[in-house]
């Protein structure tokens, strides 16, 4: 399974670093929503769902975490450890976020507004859904 990790351009100078993200440029879709998670409890696993339409870019802007991706056939683990790296997560992809460091802030750029109907939260349902689409 191929994963797409973006390396964004940091604009560094003697004051520090700055990363700018523009829709259709750095982010490959129109950004309709941004959300982020922080103060994640140690050993917790977030996500555990897939989306039918939503595309996202995940950026661990502080600290680190791991993302487990599963397309129903193959699984892959990606570490997010740099504030200038973004992981593209497509629809039809089961995702789990875990191993959050103490100071982790995971920011997500999303192609759609929040819609609970877009979620598949049952793993067996996800497997049937992707199997049917193949
Ligand atoms: C995803 C991964 C990476 C909202 O009200 N609006 C929102 O935009 C979002 C994302 C969540 N919520 C509410 C719904 C729940 O009551 O916030 C609560 C926590 O959401 P959830 O349990 O879905 O969070 P995660 O961390 O398991 O998953 C989130 C996204 O929901 C999901 O789309 O791909 O991050």
Q: Which pLDDT tens digit goes with each residue over 76-106?
A: 999 999 999 999 999 999 999 999 999 999 9
Mean pLDDT of 29-47: 97
Q: Which phi and psi (to 5°) does residue 103 adopt?
A: -100, 20
91 is catalytic: no
Per cent of the chain over pLDDT 70 is: 100
Structure tokens at 5: 């990790």
Q: Which of 78, 92, 103, 100 is nearest to 6 (CA)?
A: 78
**Is the C-beta atom of 67 inside 6 A of ligand 1?**
no
> What ligand 1 atom has the least distance to the C-alpha of 110?
33
Ligand 1 centroid – CA 6 distance (Å): 22
Mean pLDDT of 20-46: 97
**Is the C-beta atom of 38 inside 6 A of ligand 1?**
no
Ligand 1 centroid – CA 14 distance (Å): 37
**Cα distances (angstroms) measured from residue 17 to each of 11, 13, 123:** 6, 7, 40
Residue 134 has a pLDDT of 86
> What ligand 1 atom has the least distance to the C-alpha of 47?
27
- Residue pLDDT, tens place only, 113-128: 999 999 999 999 999 9
Structure tokens at 121: 């939260």
Residue 61 has a pLDDT of 98
Q: Which of 2, 100, 84, 93 is nearest to 42 (CA)?
A: 100
- The CA distance from 126 to 75, in Å, is 14
CB 53 within 8 A of CB 112: yes
> What ligand 1 atom has the least distance to the C-alpha of 54?
33
């Amino acid at each position: 399974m191929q994963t797409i990790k973006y390396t964004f351009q940091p604009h560094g100078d003697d004051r520090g670093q700055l990363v700018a993200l523009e829709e259709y440029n750095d982010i490959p879709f129109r950004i309709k929503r941004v959300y982020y998670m922080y103060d994640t409890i140690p050993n917790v696993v977030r996500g555990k769902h897939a989306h039918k339409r939503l595309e996202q870019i995940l950026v661990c802007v502080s600290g680190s975490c791991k993302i487990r991706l599963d397309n129903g056939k193959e699984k892959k683990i990606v570490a997010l450890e740099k504030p200038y790296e973004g992981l593209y997560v497509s629809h039809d992809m089961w995702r789990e976020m875990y191993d959050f460091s103490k100071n982790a802030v995971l920011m997500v750029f999303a192609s759609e507004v929040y819609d609970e109907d877009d979620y598949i939260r049952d793993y067996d349902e996800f497997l049937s859904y992707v199997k049917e689409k193949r």
